[in-house]
Amino acid sequence: MTETFSTSSPDETAAIAANFAERLTPGDVVVLRGELGSGKTVFVRGAAGALGFRGRVTSPTFAIGNVYSGDSAEIAHLDLYRLAEIDVADEAVLDDFLTPERIAFVEWPHDELANAERLRAVVALEHAGEDQRAIEINWIGERA
């Protein structure tokens, strides 16, 4: 199932993310695609807030990922932007973060991660002029 939205502000993108996140369950992996500044981290911020995290969501810069506490599950937030591809060593790191108890968000601009285990949705964000963003959410599998 595909859902499309267009937003005109970061708050609007975060609100769509919040609504989206209410349909996630522990173990779900969400991949976020889109160019630099397209709003991937803003989307994760909205989603993490809806899942009960009250702290600050920032792009993991030095570490590959952060873990936040939510109401009913931990939230993993990974940013793989600088990886051109995922090798075996990265897979091990991914496995450590993407546990079945967590809800995971992975910022990753490339295609290949689409076969991640437990992939639940792919969110694609695109610049559409100034503060406009086009958002496409592709739900994977039956439960959408």
Q: Which range binds ligand ATP by CB under 6 A, 15-23, 38-46, 69-77, 115-123?
A: 38-46
Q: Please, which residue, 120 or 133, has the CB nearer to ligand ATP?
A: 133
**Among candidate residues 129, 144, 139, 143, the one with its CA nearest the CA of residue 31:** 139
The reply to whether 133 sits near ligand ATP by the rule CB under 6 A is yes
Taking CB under 6 A as the criterion, the residue among 17, 21, 33, 39 binding ligand ATP is 39
We find the least distance from the C-beta atom of residue 16 to ligand ATP, in angstroms, to be: 9
Minimum CB separation of residue 44 from Mg ion in Å reads 8
Q: Binds 28, which of Mg ion, ligand ATP, none (CB < 5 to 8 A, cut-off by type)?
A: none
Residue 25 neighbours by CB under 8 Å, 6+ apart: 73, 103
DSSP E strands in 45-89: the ranges are 65-69, 74-79
Give the CB-nearest residue to ligand ATP: 39
Tell me, by CB under 6 A, how many residues bind ligand ATP.
Answer: 20
- The single residue listed with the structure tokens 């994977």 is 140
By CB under 6 A, residue 66 contacts ligand ATP = no
Alpha carbon distance 134, 144 (integer Å)? 20
* Rounded Cα–Cα distance for residues 87 and 4 (Å): 32
The residue among 25 and 61 lying less far from ligand ATP, judged by its C-beta, is 61
Q: Say if CB 135 and CB 44 are below 8 A apart.
A: no
Report the candidate in 37, 39, 41 with the shortest Cα–Cα distance to residue 49. Answer: 41
Chain residues in the site for ligand ATP (CB under 6 A): 7-10, 12-13, 34, 36-42, 59, 79, 81, 107, 131, 133
